Amino acid sequence: MSFLSATLKRVKPSPTIAVTTKAQELKAAGRDVIGLGAGEPDFDTPDNIKTAGIAAINSGKTKYTAVDGIPELKKAICAKFARDNDLTYCPDQVTVGTGGKQVLYNAFMATLNAGDEVIIPAPYWVSYPDMVLLSGGEPVFVEATLEAGFKITAAQLEAAITPKTKWFLFNSPSNPTGAGYSWNELNALTDVLLRHPHVWVLTDDMYEHLSYGDFKFCTPAQVEPQLYDRTLTMNGVSKAYAMTGWRIGYAAGPRDLIGAIRKVQSQSTSNPCSISQWAAVEALNGPQDFITPNNAMFIHRRDLVVSMLNDATGIVCPKPEGAFYVYPSIAGCIGKTTPAGTKITNDEDFATALLEETGVAVVFGAAFGLSPNFRVSYATSDDALKEACTRIQTFCAGLSIG
């Protein structure tokens, strides 16, 4: 339609949402479908956080708030950054949005001009490039291969930087791979950034507390304090606190940047939900002891899925350091044909055939910028994971050459 904005031609709908929607449609039609596409914990929001939300309703805290967050939440966010990340911020350096996604989008809208470049390691969360494109910028991809642990090197980052580079977008642990950068690995990247003072750093730390085993989370401004004045550190309550539907994300950074983000938000959504903000205050200030047992369950599920997928013919599945995703390679399945006669020429073919022939919904790797792979979210029950992985094993075993 000529009536629609030409900007929309630069972007595509979210593939992860498309997969989830397709799985729901098949379920509604009576199909036995196991959805491994959604990126949200299956745990319920902790009771103390739900109680805080209910209390906010009962006490009348249901009106407009300050555009980018109530003072109590900003204070809690500052305390969180000091406690967990050794970062000192004042409330006027904090912005609160309707999920981390809005915070990222606001930052791009507030800073990008036509032709500005944003360096994005691939594989990446599906929304990163499209948010950059909607904001008038140009995504520049740096490939992080399976062989490299899905992590880019300092040399790769150095080679990607140009005079047009405005942001380096950094996500660890990663969606979709679960890969996490150690202090030394991140320090190698921050050393590069120190040599390029025109490049700012935008971090997506949403999976901070979903870190497993010996892996210790760290964030760029923590590793290299000299980057503090050109870093926007984003986080939120969605994943670790099982609050995806509450829609609260936040970030801290330089005051001028926070002010620009506030201006964008003031003319788009205005304040996030008041009730959700009060629940987030309790999430950040309240007990954190549920995180460890939740993570123990995620570790168990991760190990289960990694083991079963590595037993599938043609699949190689590395063990990630965090988040709740695995990102196996299906290089050994390319060129083969399914029992129903579908030729697997790429990972989208694989995911489509897997859903149609076995009822297992995954997201194909091309959506995340690295093929041939697919993403599995293991944030679901053991029984569902075992059944899904068994179906994947059977599907792969049934592929034939030619």
pLDDT in tens, 223-279: 999 999 999 999 999 999 999 999 999 999 999 999 999 999 999 999 999 999 999
A 10 A CB-CB count for 224 gives 17
Continuous H helices in 161-290: 183-194, 220-223, 255-266, 274-285
Compute the distance between CA of residue 74 and CA of residue 78 in angstroms, rounded to an integer.
Answer: 6
What average pLDDT does range 309-338 have in this prediction? 98
Between residues 14 and 231, the one the model is more confident about: 231
Note the Cα 352 to chain centre separation in Å: 23
Give per-residue pLDDT as tens, 181-227.
Answer: 999 999 999 999 999 999 999 999 999 999 999 999 999 999 999 99
Q: What is the CATH number of the domain that holds 332?
A: 3.90.1150.10
- Judgement on whether residues 267 and 380 belong to the same structural domain of the protein: no
* Angstrom distances, CA of residue 116 to CA of 138, 140, 165, 167, 200: 6, 10, 6, 9, 12
What average pLDDT does range 360-384 have in this prediction? 96
Overall number of domains in the chain: 2
- Judgement on whether residues 125 and 90 belong to the same structural domain of the protein: yes
What average pLDDT does range 112-123 have in this prediction? 97
Q: What is the CATH number of the domain that holds 209?
A: 3.40.640.10
- Judgement on whether residues 138 and 25 belong to the same structural domain of the protein: no
- Judgement on whether residues 125 and 245 belong to the same structural domain of the protein: yes
Question: Which residues, at least 6 apart from 62, have a Cβ–Cβ distance to it below 8 Å?
Answer: 56, 274, 275
Question: Is pLDDT at 173 greater than 70 in this prediction?
Answer: yes
**Domain membership of residue 170 as a residue range:** 63-285
Give yes or no for a contact between 188 and 153, defined as CB atoms under 8 angstroms apart: yes
* Angstrom distances, CA of residue 24 to CA of 126, 238, 362: 20, 22, 13
Choose the final residue of a domain: 285, 317, 352: 285
Question: Is pLDDT at 143 greater than 90 in this prediction?
Answer: yes
Give yes or no for a contact between 329 and 346, defined as CB atoms under 8 angstroms apart: no
| Weakest mean pLDDT among 9-23, 91-105, 259-273, 372-386 | 9-23
Question: Is pLDDT at 28 greater than 90 in this prediction?
Answer: no
Between residues 250 and 13, the one the model is more confident about: 250
Name the band, by pLDDT with cuts 50, 70 and 90, for residue 1: low
- Judgement on whether residues 223 and 80 belong to the same structural domain of the protein: yes
The fraction of the chain above a pLDDT of 70, given in percent, is 100
Choose the final residue of a domain: 267, 285, 303: 285
| Weakest mean pLDDT among 32-36, 77-81, 164-168, 291-295 | 32-36
Give per-residue pLDDT as tens, 287-316.
Answer: 999 999 999 999 999 999 999 999 999 999
- Judgement on whether residues 99 and 37 belong to the same structural domain of the protein: no
- Judgement on whether residues 331 and 348 belong to the same structural domain of the protein: yes
pLDDT, the chain, mean: 96
- Judgement on whether residues 272 and 155 belong to the same structural domain of the protein: yes
- Please report whether residue 55 resides in a domain: no
Give yes or no for a contact between 330 and 315, defined as CB atoms under 8 angstroms apart: yes
DSSP 321: S
pTM for the model stands at 0.95
What pLDDT sits at residue 391?
98
Compute the distance between CA of residue 319 and CA of residue 300 in angstroms, rounded to an integer.
Answer: 12
- DSSP one-letter string for 99-113: SHHHHHHHHHHHH--
- Judgement on whether residues 129 and 265 belong to the same structural domain of the protein: yes
What pLDDT sits at residue 142?
98
The pairing of strands 138-143 and 117-122 is: parallel
What average pLDDT does range 9-14 have in this prediction? 80
- Judgement on whether residues 141 and 275 belong to the same structural domain of the protein: yes
Between residues 8 and 161, the one the model is more confident about: 161
- Judgement on whether residues 294 and 281 belong to the same structural domain of the protein: no
- Please report whether residue 53 resides in a domain: no
What pLDDT sits at residue 196?
98
The pairing of strands 325-326 and 360-361 is: unpaired
